[in-house]
């Protein structure tokens, strides 16, 4: 999915693939596993953003979150 926003609120039941062409000020990601034990892939690209998530064996880890200029708000829910 391609977006153009400074604020993103994303909900996924599996894989997440989003590109955004603006610098984020606010980011919220909610991830639920529709299939128990399934591994999901997360890709989120936005101007100045570093976002790395590892999902394996039913476990999700937020490895890296960095936004040039900082984020006003951030949430990652699983």
Largest CA distance in the chain: 37
Instruction: Give the domain extent around 18.
Output: 2-77
* Tally of domains within the chain: 1
**Residue-level pLDDT at 72:** 97
Task: Output the six-digit token pair for 31.
Answer: 């991830």
Encode pLDDT of 14-33 as tens digits: 899 999 999 999 999 998 87
Length of the chain: 78
Q: What is the pLDDT of residue 74?
A: 96
Give the model's pLDDT for residue 35: 76
Query: What tens digit of pLDDT does each residue of 36-72 get?
Result: 777 889 999 999 999 999 888 768 889 999 999 999 9
End-to-end Cα separation, the chain, in angstroms:
21
Beta-strand relationship, 26-31 and 16-23: unpaired
pTM: 0.88
Q: Which of these, 54, 60, 18, lies nearest to 36 by C-alpha position?
A: 60
């Amino acid at each position: 999915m391609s977006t153009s926003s400074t604020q993103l609120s994303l909900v996924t039941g599996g894989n997440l693939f989003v590109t955004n062409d603006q610098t984020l000020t606010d980011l919220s990601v909610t991830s639920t596993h529709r299939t128990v034990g399934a591994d999901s892939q997360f890709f989120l690209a936005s101007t100045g953003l570093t976002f790395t998530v590892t999902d394996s064996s039913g476990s999700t880890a937020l490895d890296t979150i960095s936004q040039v200029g900082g984020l006003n708000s951030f949430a990652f829910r699983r």
